[in-house]
Amino acid sequence: MHDTAKPVHLRWQYLLLVFAGGTAGTALREAVGLLTPSGGFPLTTMGINVTGAFLLGALLEALVRRGPDAGRRRGTRVLLGTGVLGGFTTYSALATDTSLLFADGNVGAALLYAGGTLVLGALATWLGIAASAARHRRGTSRAGGVA
C-alpha cells in the first residue's frame, strides 16, 4: 500500500510531527508549571488548558480559512495542534487535580475547578476562532478581497 493511501494517523511522517510537537508542548507545560506554582488550587493547570483551548481554536480557524487540510496545512495542524497544543494541554492533570480536591473534601473547589475549566475552555476556543476569523477578514479586506 502506498503511504499516502494510509490514514493520516498511520503515516510515519505525521507520527514524527506529533511526537516532536508533543515533546515541545509537554516541555513548555512543565516549564510553565515550574515557573508558576499554583499552591492549593490548580490555577496553573487551568490557565494552561484555557490558553491551549484559545490557541487551538485560533490555529484551526486560521488553517481552515487558508484551504483544505492537505500538504503544509495538514503538517502544521498535526505538528502545532495535535503535537504542541496536545502536549501543552492536559486532561489527565485536570482529572487528577479534580479527584484530589474531592479527596481532600474540597467539593466546591473541585466542582468550580472542573466546571470552570470546561466552561472557560469552551469560551476560550470560541474566542480563538473569532479572533482568527477577524484577523482573516482584516487581511482579506486589505488585500482587496483575496484571501
36 labeled part of a ligand binding site: no
Q: Are 14 and 83 in contact (CB under 8 A)?
A: no
- Sequence-separated (6 or more) residues with CB below 8 Å from residue 47: 32, 36
The one-letter code for the residue type at 18 is V
- Cα(78)–Cα(134) distance, integer angstroms: 23
Look at the alpha carbons of 110, 113, 117, 123 in this order and tell me if their dihedral is positive or negative.
positive
86 labeled part of a ligand binding site: yes
- Cα(15)–Cα(23) distance, integer angstroms: 12
Annotated binding site: 86, 89
Annotated binding site for Na(+): 86, 89
